[in-house]
Structure 1
Amino acid sequence: MAMAPQARRAGRPRSAVLGRARITAAARRIIEARGYPALTMSALARSLGVSPSALYNHAASKQQLLQWIQEDVMAGVDSSGFGRLPLDDALRLWATSYRDVFARHAPLVPVIAVLPVAGSPRTLRMYEDVAAGFLGAGWAEEDVAAAIIATESFIFGSALDATAPLDIFDAGEHAARFPAFSGAVARQRASGMPSAEAAFGLGLEALIAGLMTRGPGGPAASRSSS
């Protein structure tokens, strides 16, 4: 009796193809679960089920991995308002989207905040949009970088605050000794808005109002030019 021909194997490989997107996602998972120190090339290779040598065929170093992560995360930040909206509205859109992205990926804040931008064209594009927005609004060139850095510092801090425990400011048994602060915390909690959201909204508006005094016609700009 003739043997039946063997079924042909499917062309798709049994394991997912190793590539930049898969490697980046795995590296992000390690950092978000266990922190930046846990991200090593050997740990990443194990999480992907490949040998370190196979990983090095795609990612030359840990630094390159971090640049890929930076590019991936920054894709969610919206800087499209600059040049299209008034500067204050563009800042609100940018800062809110930036904070929301990093609130979802708070463990990445200490990594991205100190990572050089030269390896991330997407981050550089964002900064270009923001800088062009300030310049287009008439800002002095020497003030633009400081304004961006100050705003970004507030954004990163707010992103970390968004992940803090809800009772972080509860004085507990010491509440009676510190009535002003404890009362303010209780009153804010009674409003129903999470403290991190209230703080971000208030802080962002205060920051933008202060920045606007540096623009053309603002009192700070007038004093510096006199």
Structure 2
Amino acid sequence: MPPVPVKGVGTKTAPRRAGRPPRALLGHAQITRAALRLVTRDGYKALTMSGLAKSLNVAPSALYNHVSSKQDVLLLVEDALMGRVDVSAFTERPWEEAVRLWAHSYRDVFSAHLPLIPVIALLPVTNAPQTITMYEAVTDGFLRAGWPQERIINAIVALESFVFGSAYDVNAPGDIFATGELEDAAPHFTAAVARRGNPAGHNDADAAFALGLDAMVAGLAATLASATR
């Protein structure tokens, strides 16, 4: 009986077929990262299904296996960004401090993604798990601070409106209030701009945000006090 050939001894293995290694499976995480990169680089108008598919080096049909529309992509993006907002202070700190830390984190996340603010500010939170988790933590913090349930969402929306506007201010040019040749027409404004002073270590955007946030928190605290008398 002839000897049984042993792999590697007197035999040759079949050569590996040429071609690229298998592509990593496309999924929501890859789609979300690609969408964020696309918007950051080229602006919101660049976020189309065909443009997103091209950036992922896949056919549009492959993309539609995971998301059914641009709205679905935006929901993924919204959820990813909201998941970066730190809400941990609502379980660890007093309410006023927690609101400040949450607002600072919220502003930092969205100041890095300005093109998405007009979209996400109007996007429903339906079926966005991380977004819902964020709002649940904030709402729970308000409830534990004694807020009447019927006033909580209005307070959150008021804070969010301030946060989104402040995110734009982070990216404003340093000379945004320069009056130029109209200096004589606005002497008081021009002088106030020239004398603008900030606490040590604060730039203009940070100082304005801190002042506004302090005022909002104080106003909300007064509202809470009057509501619980």
Identify the TM-score tier after normalising by the shorter chain. 0.7 to 0.9
Runs of 5+ consecutive residues of structure 1 not aligned to the other structure: none
User: CA–CA distance in 2 between the matches of 1:105 and 1:63?
Assistant: 18
Deviation (angstroms), 1:10: 9.6
CA gap of 1:9–1:169, structure 2 versus 1, over 3 A, is: farther
> Are the structure 2 counterparts of residues 10 and 142 from structure 1 closer, same or farther at C-alpha, using a change threshold of 3 Å?
farther
1:137 pairs, out of 140, 145, 149, with 145
1:124 aligns with 2:102: no
Name the residue aligned to 2:26. 18
**C-alpha distance after superposition, 1:33-90 (max 9, x if no partner):** 3332321111111122211111111222211111111111112101111132111000
- Taking the TM superposition and a 5 Å limit, the aligned residue runs for 1:10-89 are 13=21, 15-89=23-97
Q: Is 1:32–1:107's contact at 8 Å kept on the other side of the alignment? A: yes
Please give the secondary structure, in 1, of the residue aligned with 2:89. Answer: coil
Match status 1:204 vs 2:213: yes
Cα distance in 2 for residues equivalent to 1:126 and 1:193: 28
Q: TM-score, normalised by structure 1?
A: 0.87
Q: Distance in 1 between matches of 2:127 and 2:74?
A: 9
Once the 2 structures are TM-superposed, how far is the Cα of residue 166 of structure 1 from its aligned partner?
Answer: 1.4
Q: 1:6 to 1:148 in 2, by over 3 A?
A: same
Query: 5+ unaligned residues in a row in structure 2: which ranges?
Result: 1-9
Work out the number of aligned pairs and report it: 219
Q: Is the 8 A contact 1:166 1:194 kept in 2?
A: no
- Note the aligned Cα RMSD (angstroms): 2.5
- Asked if structure 1 preserves the Cα contact closer than 8 Å seen for 2:39 and 2:46, the reply is yes
Residue 108 of structure 2 is matched in structure 1 by 100
User: Which of 204, 210, 221 is the matching residue for 2:227?
Assistant: 221
1:123 partner letter = T
Q: TM-score, normalised by structure 2?
A: 0.86
Q: Contact (CA 8 Å) 2:83, 2:134: kept in 1 or not?
A: no
Which structure's CA Rg is the greater one? 2
CA distance in structure 1 between the partners assigned to 2:101 and 2:87 by the alignment? 7
Alpha carbons 2:155, 2:220 under 8 Å: kept: yes
Same amino acid, percent of matched pairs: 53
| 1:72-113 deviation per Cα after TM superposition (whole angstroms, max 9, x unaligned) | 111210111113211100001100000000011111111111
